Amino acid sequence: MARTASVQTKIGFTILAWAVALLLFSPILWTIVTAFKSEAEAIAAPPTFLPETFTLDNFAAVQDRSDYLKHAWNSIVVSVGSTLLGLVIAIPAAWSMAFAPTKRTKDILMWMLSTKMMPAVGVLIPIYLIFRDLRLLDTVHGLTIIMTLINLPIIIWMLYTYFKEIPVDILEAARMDGAELWNEIVHVLVPMAVPGIASTLLLNVILAWNEAFWTITLTSGRAGTLTAFISSFSSPQGLFLAKLSAASLLAIAPILLLGWFSQKQLVRGLTFGAVK
């Protein structure tokens, strides 16, 4: 009897999990379907789920209006570049907080986390003026810097959590063998924390890729990423849903594929040290 109840419980949770997954995926599915509709069918009332005739005209119109490959390249450079730069800064910082803490370490960690609670618009004016004076507006390296700064607290927090799970005795043994600080971090700490570092890298690439506020505010065309590419299809002349859906599909396709193929590594890294 208990076994039957257990099976029923598993079935119930499985159905619930699939229902939640489908609910979360439904906006993406609707975007994919709408991308292959005509504009008239996209705004039809009542709406239709599957298009009557599949068309690729929206994708052609999107490419004719904006250079997709240029925006995609900018997104790759900004997201990957900002994450790698953040890791270079965060790994030594997380090492010092995990293995050489002071009485202010927890206060610093909480302060860094509190910066993520501030609305981005609260620092828009000073950031914009600084970028204007330093001639960083509408530049890829300017976007890379701002993405590094806004995601750095998350990178440090994640790495700090992973590093805390590494036994201090291993690092002390490396020091006794004559390893200097740089060799200790590069040849001992980093290889042991590869799952955590990989998941941190993947998560922050996704965050930087999806960032819209700063990419739209600090660029006008030359350094625009795919989020700016999407926003260009919302104009005063009207909201072209089919073309907007096609642009959105082109923008999210690379990161969806990345998340799909790296999901095992991402889950492994996020649960690194959770189970003894």
Q: Tell me the per-residue pLDDT of 195-219, one tens digit each, with 9 for 90 and over.
A: 888 888 988 998 999 998 999 999 8
One-letter amino acid of 227: T
Instruction: Give the span between the Cα atoms of 225 and 250, in whole angstroms.
Output: 12
Residue 50 per-residue DSSP state: S
Nearest Cα neighbor of 222 from 77, 108, 89 is: 77
Instruction: Give the span between the Cα atoms of 128 and 140, in whole angstroms.
Output: 15
By the 8 A CB rule, do 82 and 142 touch?
Answer: no
Backbone angles phi, psi at 27, to 5 degrees: -60, -40
Please report which residue ranges of 165-189 form alpha helices under DSSP H: 168-176, 181-183
Q: Residue 239 has what pLDDT? A: 64
Strands 234-235 and 238-239 come out as antiparallel
pLDDT (tens digit per residue) in 33-75: 999 988 888 888 788 888 888 888 888 888 888 888 899 999 9
Angle between the 241-261 and 68-99 helix axes, to the nearest 10 degrees?
A: 40
Asked if residue 135 has pLDDT above 90, the reply is yes
Model-level pTM?
Answer: 0.83
Contacts 24+ apart (CB under 8 A), 53-59: 58/242, 58/243, 58/245, 58/246, 59/35, 59/246, 59/250
